[in-house]
Structure 1
Amino acid sequence: MAGSQFTLAALATTAVPGLVLTGTRTLGSAASGDYESAVLRDADGTLSAIRRPRNQRAEARQSADLVAIRALSAGIRSRLPFAVAEYRGQAPIGSTRAIVTTYVPGTHPTLRDLGERPELATSVGRAVAAVHQLPTSFVTDAGLPSLTPFEVLRSAVSVMDRAVATKLVPAALVERWEGAARDQQLWQFTPTVVHGALGTGVVLVDGDAVTGILDWGELRLGDPAKDLAWVLAGRRDGFDTVLSAYEANGGGRDRQLAQRARVYHELETAQWLLHGVQAKSTEVVDDAVAMMHRLVDAVQTPSAEPLQSVSPDTMEIGEVEQFLSSTERRHG
């Protein structure tokens, strides 16, 4: 462990000229995970973080994150009620590189915390709203992805179709998801700046306040509902509090936001199934199928929320496919 820390410390002094270190400690797990990481203290007490990817997947994620945090200028950051890591330097090591950023303190909350601590859930809703109100121009200027509602719908339908093709999706979910895909009103939204990968593992808190958000590699213009879907894995009152705070802090007037968030949340089971199929993992496939059957039980209760809008303007599934095909030709 100590050897790893000293290696990372040496890399940091190469990455940041003039850096004088007085201490270092391991960040995260020293033996597992996608990154080898450490927190560094320099002579004036400033803390930095260094991360070295352990595999190609981590290297790709780190590169995407670097592009995003460089796009977040000082002016953009000043609009956020939490900290974002700032780039300090990099140093090559083997076939990859180690990246040094400022250190963002805090601990990761749990979904249970959001249900039990309304003040924390309120802070999360406020933080997400602040991201979604950022000016869209900085995302397009940085060349980051910009998705239209059509492209978002096409992506969701693709996940549905590939999962259904495995013949492992319960009929009740097939019907429910196809109904959401046919609902034209559901997919009428204004693309906003979205983090794209929010979850308990990237949110940092101190007490009941969000102090930072990590891993910006999926930063883009897209569907704001995507950034709220993860909260649905916890208690219903936690999601309601987050959503109320989100709306109270200028998070838009999208009446279908909660329904689309539920679509994304439910499609996570389909994505887990597809991952299992691709990896040829019987264990993952069985787990995904079990999750889907539990989801069927949940959505068939009287208190279950629908996916479709209150008064949906629906298309038949063949019309959806024809619409996607024709629009793709026009955009192609």
Structure 2
Amino acid sequence: MHRNSYSLAALAAAAVPGLVPVRTTPIATPTEDLDVAGVVGEQGRRVMVLSPSSTASGVRLEKDLKVADALTGTPLHGVIPPVLGFVKLSEGGRAAVTEAPVGRPLMLEDLQESPDLARSMGQVLARIHTVPRYAAEAAGVESFTPEALLAEHRERVLEAKEGGHLPAAVAQRWEALLEDEELWHVTPQFIHGDLSEESMFHAEERISALRDWSSSRVADAATDLAWLISTLEPERFDELYAAYRQELPTEVHPRLVERAQALGEFAVAEWLAHGLETGDESIVSDARGMIADLDADLAQLARDEAERTYDALSSRDEQP
């Protein structure tokens, strides 16, 4: 069941001894079945309360908190709000209260406008991807082999193609990417798995908090970069990626950025499948529009390449 801000404040008071709520503030969440609010106490203390409104969201919340707890012993501890308490819900499950994230929710415009913030994002991503596997396994996250990851991508693209949703040029590009064996030489690493504006906070030109670890797993580091490379301006992404590489203790795969770009494209097929499965025509229309845009981009690239080839041949023929 969903709860309003007053009910969430009451849950916070029950979970945290001595907390007397004065007011609440809404906080966006990536999922519709998780109620989240910021609560300000009498002495100005700020906490965040998270209450699942379904069994599925309760399972995700428990995984989120278990992973976050496992990460408190890693270099990420400074960006993970600590849990302050729990309270049982009448319908089953429990709500959780954490310290309020420092700063304010991150918007893409913030990253676009701030080189320092982009570099901080790159540093935090590197720290995520260097979390030891034993810490991830202690939190019970799933681990995927490179073969399993590639099979998942193949299935996603095949479904879109067989459903008649892919123009020929897009289908050919995606199939060529999937056949490029070197591109998919992945060393699985711990990843967040579902980065979004709702999962990050920032303050003073740095990433100050990360939340929602329910999709974390040991998989392809390119997954966490895919969203950023597909949304940020190239110059800003380059700054983020340079900071990412500098923070890592080891060299990255030489084609990591290329793979992230591919995963960003494949995500459109996943978005389309989600829209079709849920019968949400707005999602289906959005995904089809993105596929059409990619098709147009590929057509323009083909024209540009043809013009370059023609110019080169013409120049050679004109030479004495």
The 3 A distance-change label for structure 1 pair 280 and 45 is closer
AA matched with 2:265: E
AA matched with 1:8: L
Structure 2 alignment gaps of length 5 or more: 303-320
- Of 147-156 and 64-73, the range deviating more from structure 2: 64-73
Partner deviation per Cα, 1:107-153 (whole Å, 9 max, x = no partner): 23333332332111111111101111121111112221111111111
Q: How far apart, CA to CA, are the structure 2 residues paired with 1:29 and 1:129?
A: 25
Q: Is the 8 A contact 1:107 1:205 kept in 2?
A: yes
TM-score by length of 1: 0.81
TM-score by length of 2: 0.84
Q: Trace 1:22-37 onto structure 2 (pairs within 5 A).
A: 22-28=21-27, 33-37=32-36
Aligned-residue offset at 1:57: 4.6
Q: Is the 8 A contact 2:9 2:24 kept in 1?
A: no
1:194 equivalent among 187, 191, 200: 191
The 3 A distance-change label for structure 1 pair 10 and 111 is closer
AA matched with 2:247: N
Match of 2:317 in 1: none
The 3 A distance-change label for structure 1 pair 6 and 165 is same
Q: Is the 8 A contact 2:169 2:298 kept in 1?
A: no
Q: How far apart, CA to CA, are the structure 1 residues paired with 2:36 and 2:276?
A: 32
1:87 aligns with 2:78: no
Partner deviation per Cα, 1:29-67 (whole Å, 9 max, x = no partner): 69x944333323456654221111234453343232122
Q: How far apart, CA to CA, are the structure 2 residues paired with 1:217 and 1:192?
A: 16
Residue 104 of structure 2 aligns to a residue in which SS?
coil
1:262 aligns with 2:261: yes
1:103 aligns with 2:115: no
Residue 113 of structure 1 aligns to a residue in which SS?
helix
The 3 A distance-change label for structure 1 pair 283 and 211 is closer
What is the RMSD computed on CA atoms of the aligned residues?
Answer: 2.6
Aligned-residue offset at 1:99: 1.2
Q: Is the 8 A contact 1:112 1:235 kept in 2?
A: no
Q: Is the 8 A contact 1:21 1:40 kept in 2?
A: no
AA matched with 2:213: W
Q: Trace 1:101-250 onto structure 2 (pairs within 5 A).
A: 101-231=98-228, 232-250=230-248
Q: Is the 8 A contact 1:19 1:42 kept in 2?
A: no
Q: Is the 8 A contact 2:33 2:53 kept in 1?
A: yes
Q: Max radius of gyration: which structure?
A: 2
Q: How far apart, CA to CA, are the structure 1 residues paired with 2:21 and 2:108?
A: 36
Structure 1 alignment gaps of length 5 or more: 304-332
Match of 1:330 in 2: none
- Of 5-14 and 32-41, the range deviating more from structure 2: 32-41
Partner deviation per Cα, 1:262-292 (whole Å, 9 max, x = no partner): 1111012101111121122333323211210
Q: Is the 8 A contact 2:23 2:41 kept in 1?
A: no
- Percent identical across equivalent pairs? 29
Q: How many residue pairs end up in the alignment?
A: 297
Point out the structure with the larger helix share: 2
AA matched with 1:94: S
The 3 A distance-change label for structure 1 pair 142 and 295 is same
Q: Is the 8 A contact 1:82 1:127 kept in 2?
A: no
Q: How far apart, CA to CA, are the structure 1 residues paired with 2:42 and 2:112?
A: 41
The 3 A distance-change label for structure 1 pair 299 and 88 is farther
Q: How far apart, CA to CA, are the structure 1 residues paired with 2:289 and 2:36?
A: 35
